[in-house]
Structure 1
Amino acid sequence: MLYMDYAATSPLYEEVIDTIAEVMKSHYGNPSSIHRLGVEAEKLLQSAKSVIASAIGASPNEIICTSGGTESNNLAIKGAAYGYQQRGKHLITTQIEHASVKEVFGQLEQEGFRVTYLPVSHTGSVSLADLQAAICEDTILVSIMYVNNEVGTIQPLQDIGRYLSAYPKIIFHVDAVQGLAKLPLEPKAWGIDLCSASAHKFRGPKGVGFLYRRTGLQLKPQLAGGGQEYGVRSGTENVPLIVGMAKALRITMDNQAAKIAHKYKLRRLLLEGIASMPELSLTGSEQEEEMAPHIVHFAFAGMKAEVVVHALEQREIYISTRSACTSGESEPSEVMLAMGCSRELAVSGLRISFSDEHTELDIAQFLRTLQEVVKELAPMRNPSMINRGKRR
């Protein structure tokens, strides 16, 4: 079995499983309780926040624990939009955001906010010039993802952060769910005000994540309740999962530079192998530094992506078509359409995502099997989709 769908979710480290079980068993107190069991749970919670904060160059009180990336994105975007709407009601995001960002902006548009959706290049990159042109006196929030979850393009966050520093009234939010632990991330140093993360993307548990909130930034709470998490996110904190998240992040961040280099090496092998198959076409930038190390995306013109996924599944190899949140849909990829691909090509996109524990032998096995599948399926391709399967 070869699992290569880490961008959808990742298996837990054994140490993380053991830690979560131990906390569940021995530290079940409510961290808001004033007795000893509660105080012990609160200490574990604060210790976990310290680990998380240290990993991104933040302070523990800038870490708000949530149920995952979707809640973090909702809290950041709605909390900022509602909290600062007296300054203006213009928001900026991109055409290729994850559904947990894109759908939030759609809701805000229905409530009277004005949203500008920045276009992207054929590689999936946002232009700083387009952002500059979109900003107006009414702009209060810019939300741009770190790494595109489908094709793996890295957005120029540091350039954007430097530019936005001249606009102190504009809040800069980053969905870093696919970037944290895969690449360096320093929200405070990069001028990021809000940054979302999810534990299950870096071998932590599902159902837990966090939102970095710069000191001094106010967010309108989205949940009414007991006022936990500095009054921003009410609800009893899930201490076992939060501790597990912190442990997973610490393990993943160990020797980060070496892990990144290893994944880029594997990525180059994948690119070389896929490029050798004429039926397939790679997406994204040819400049390695513009692409995340753990994601490779390609298209098989004339063939629906799910057919390839199931053919590989029969051989116990697991990849995906796009974001796991939308992979069951038969519509063309909105990300690929935004990148200038035809609708025919946009139904044939496939995503490989892997970890630092994968080896060159794993890549060789994958490529051999992929070649078998391509040869098997190539005669079944739709000719009209092949001929039209190119950029618009």
Structure 2
Amino acid sequence: METLFSFQAGLLKGIHNNFRRYLHANINWNQRMIGIKGPRGSGKTTLLLQYLKFDLKQPANALYVTADHTWFYNHSLLETAEDWYKLGGRILIIDEVHKYPNWSRELKNIYDGFADLKIIFSASSALDIYRGEADLSRRVIHYSLAGLSFREFIEFSTQQKLKAYSFKDLLKNHHQIAVKITEDLHPLPLFKKYLQYGYLPITAEGEKEYPIKLNQIINAVIETDLAFIASYGPGTALKVKKLIAVIAESIPFKPNISALAQKLDISRDSLYTYISQLTQARIINTLQASGKGISTLQKPEKIYLENTNLSYALTSSPDIGNLRETFLFNQLQNAGLVVSAPKEGDFLTEGYHIEVGGKNKTAKQVKATEKHIIVADEIEIGIGTKIPLWLFGFMY
């Protein structure tokens, strides 16, 4: 296993502790089996290695492996875990587990066969941990890592520590919170940068290269992750890419399922499946009408790209109104809120009708509702029921 030890040592040399993702503090690291899902480029690998290096202090009984390592060309996960356990290993961290065939069955066998071995693994957002070949649902504690919030982007790019606030905090105290934050920074220029290239930590590798890398991520999700998990062939991958292009051209996209299925030359059921898989893979977000359930074959009211950076990567000149809605929907969902499409306003969450717009936006569309707020772009500080858009990037 010397190859794996050497690989781990090389990775840990490049890991620093100057920035931690929000999820790190939310994970119960004492659980025996922990699964962490998230989109490509969101920082799952760094999170795992930071835990190993700075929290565990690189103990002799902990080992990090990645499932796409050449080691697994002729070694199984189960065999590796058994050999590691015999050497005194009691912690096994497995990155990119979705790239390993029969991942769920072997994880179950490892969990059941080595009672004092702790297992932490990461996987693509596209992977449904609870629908693996073997039953992991009673064994694994699952967490999802979203892209950077606006608050995290500021900390990541300026090293300025800022507090997160709940949705209820913002409703009640947004004026005071915004006044406090703007004493030390001007958020609007940073917000414009965030919308374009601030959602994934790979932005640190270069702003000019960021759109190229986003397109590479989209291709990798479709051609590698979904191809592996959902058995996509080249023809299927091409149709899914065409679907993304159609959505990107007219978001927020109000789908006509029959027309879209005919345009892509696929069945309605296949279209629903692709929409569900792209949502799971964090390429798109689907908004359901208020009062309707959520299922694979449920027609969404609207479809958005998952984050505003994708809008810039896939279209030459994104619509500002769409960017505002995409950002707010994304941040609300990432903060754990359930969001739906109401009859009045753009979004409904926690009983509040939300209307999104520029600095001059009024409550005309939602004034008849019992509880509503106006989420306005291009303002630093709000008052009353008008809250700055950028402030909703501080919820995680």
State the TM bucket, normalised to the shorter chain: under 0.3
What is the TM-score with the length of structure 1 in the denominator?
Answer: 0.27
* Structure whose residues are more often helix by fraction: 2
What is the TM-score with the length of structure 2 in the denominator?
Answer: 0.27
